[in-house]
Structure 1
Amino acid sequence: MIITEDDEEEISELRKNLFNEFEMKDLGLLKYFLGIEVLRSKRGIFMNQGKYILDLLAEAGMVECKPADTPIVQNHGQQIREGAKLTDRGRYQRLVGKLIYLSHTRPDISYVVGVVSQFMHSPQEDHWEAALRIVRYLKGTTEHGLLFEKHGHLEIHGFTDADWAGNPNDRRSTTGYFTFVGGNLVTWRSKKQKVIALSSAEAEFRGIKSGLTEILWLKRLMTELSLHSSHPCRMFCDNKAYQKIQSNMIELSTWKWIDTL
């Protein structure tokens, strides 16, 4: 059990009540929990899954493998190919399941894990090789993780992007976003869109919608926790078409009407 609170007296009282009700032992400050390591310093709190990665390398027999510079090749084109050789589904699902858990502290593999997760029902040899490349990338980045520092503010902002028709099988786009609170990365996601976008602007617009939804949820959560910020929330994107739509209220109203059909 993890207890978090900014009031030491409240923690002591809760701990006392738990000890009276259950047989429990106080292990002190959180250091390791379900494969996640927590390190503290004057700079802040650092979380990573280095030991979990080493265990994964040992289980996959890749302790001596050559590290990869990137988790996936550019323009990978991963898809289900007719007549391609299948790989062991159980083995593939176990490996990808572990990679999904690793992505809790590794946003840099979130996208590629989402890619290989699409083939869990019928993995092929190419998909297995793509999953192993992620493992080889992790071999060279075992010390990567998340650092939480104090920046003196609680500003919320996010970044969003989308690839148009990136999936070769169904031509659907993939949305990606990540959000910061107080200068620290707190949430991120990479997911295929539910419908087929007819243009790059539409794909980006849907991606921005997902990012804004996340920011509004964070804003409401912080309000419930009595954490208030005077700074406006900000969303960043690099799509010129969307920026022009946003700057022209007539075009924006037309887009909203089309989007609700």
Structure 2
Amino acid sequence: MDLKTAFLNGDLSEEIFMLPPEDFIEEGNDILLASSDESLLHEAKSFLSMCFEMKDLGEASYVLGIEIHRDREKGLLGLSQKAYIEKVLKRFNMLQSNGAEVPVSKGDKLSKEDCPRNDVERTEMKDKPYASVVGSIMYQSDPGIAHWKAAKKVLRYVQRTKGHMLVYKRTDSLELVGYTYSDFAGCKDTSQSTSSFVFMMGEGAVAWKSAKQPSIATSTMFVEYLRVVMKLLHMPCG
């Protein structure tokens, strides 16, 4: 439902008095309405509803930029960010770029060694909007050309997969299933490992994260231990 202006229609627990708007007051009939009188309260709500233009917009097709797809016959609900992805690609002049199969290829490792080492390399990066592509949360200080190429590769990957969406299936069992993975000393700069997890419900992802482990693991067993701890600390609840 869409309201042209704010209209609170909740249950009132306190005693509330109100006067009709000036244009609706009949001369000699200035009646105060009290929430303690159910009939008067109902009359007040009906009266106020007439003062606000309401419109039934039907089922939502977009929420916060996410496109909603429904297939009621198959019991499927899809969430797509194609419009947002195309907006990002257009912003960085990559809307017509060729798609990439994967965002990161096996063996790709970025580190501080790839940062500019002289003024010529720094000048080469001045016109590259690397920070804008990666975003402030994933910001890499002093990025080099290798970092910029990796960021563009991610954009080419989302170009190829922009038609993909999160799909949730109607099911009798709301079973929560989790998958985790950890590498071993994946960061070339700190030797820290990276843990990742995804939780599925209704055959669709509901929570996911990939982050560098806070401690340096000295064995693959310790890596797995930290992975389990990370999984438990961030497990969805409710």
TM-score normalised per structure 1? 0.64
| TM-fit CA distance, 1:90 | 7.9
Q: Amino acid of the residue matched to residue 91 of structure 1?
A: P
Match of 1:41 in 2: 71
Higher helix residue share: 1
- 1:19-77 CA-partner distances (Å, limit 9, x unpaired): 96998765332211332111111231100111111122221111222211111121111
Question: 1:138 & 1:32 partners in 2: Cα distance?
Answer: 20
Q: Give 5+ residue unaligned stretches, structure 1.
A: 3-12, 101-116, 222-261
The 3 A distance-change label for structure 1 pair 130 and 24 is farther
The 3 A distance-change label for structure 1 pair 187 and 88 is farther
Match of 1:155 in 2: 175
Contact 1:166–1:173, Cα closer than 8 Å, also in 2 = yes
Structure 2 counterpart of 1:68, from 100, 104, 108? 100
| TM-fit CA distance, 1:125 | 1.3
Contact 2:167–2:203, Cα closer than 8 Å, also in 1 = no
Following superposition of structure 1 onto structure 2, how do residues 1-261 of structure 1 map, counting pairs within 5 Å?
A: 26-42=56-72, 43=74, 44-81=76-113, 83=117, 85-86=121-122, 87-88=125-126, 91-97=129-135, 117=138, 119=140, 121-215=141-235, 217-218=236-237, 221=238
Point out which structure has higher relative CO (alpha carbons under 8 A, 6+ apart).
1
The 3 A distance-change label for structure 1 pair 168 and 25 is farther
Contact 1:159–1:211, Cα closer than 8 Å, also in 2 = no
- 1:104-137 CA-partner distances (Å, limit 9, x unpaired): xxxxxxxxxxxxx251x22211111101001111
Contact 1:161–1:208, Cα closer than 8 Å, also in 2 = no
Question: 2:181 & 2:207 partners in 1: Cα distance?
Answer: 15
Q: Secondary structure at the match of 2:182?
A: strand
- 1:147-202 CA-partner distances (Å, limit 9, x unpaired): 01112101122111101100000110000001123433210100001110111111
Match of 1:243 in 2: none
The 3 A distance-change label for structure 1 pair 23 and 163 is farther
How high is the sequence identity, in percent, across the aligned residues? Answer: 30
Q: Secondary structure at the match of 2:100?
A: coil
TM-score normalised per structure 2? 0.69
The 3 A distance-change label for structure 1 pair 147 and 125 is same
Q: Give 5+ residue unaligned stretches, structure 2.
A: 3-8, 11-44
Computing the radius of gyration over CA atoms, which structure comes out larger, 1 or 2?
2
Question: 2:193 & 2:82 partners in 1: Cα distance?
Answer: 32
Question: 1:138 & 1:131 partners in 2: Cα distance?
Answer: 11
Question: 1:159 & 1:36 partners in 2: Cα distance?
Answer: 25
The 3 A distance-change label for structure 1 pair 23 and 71 is farther
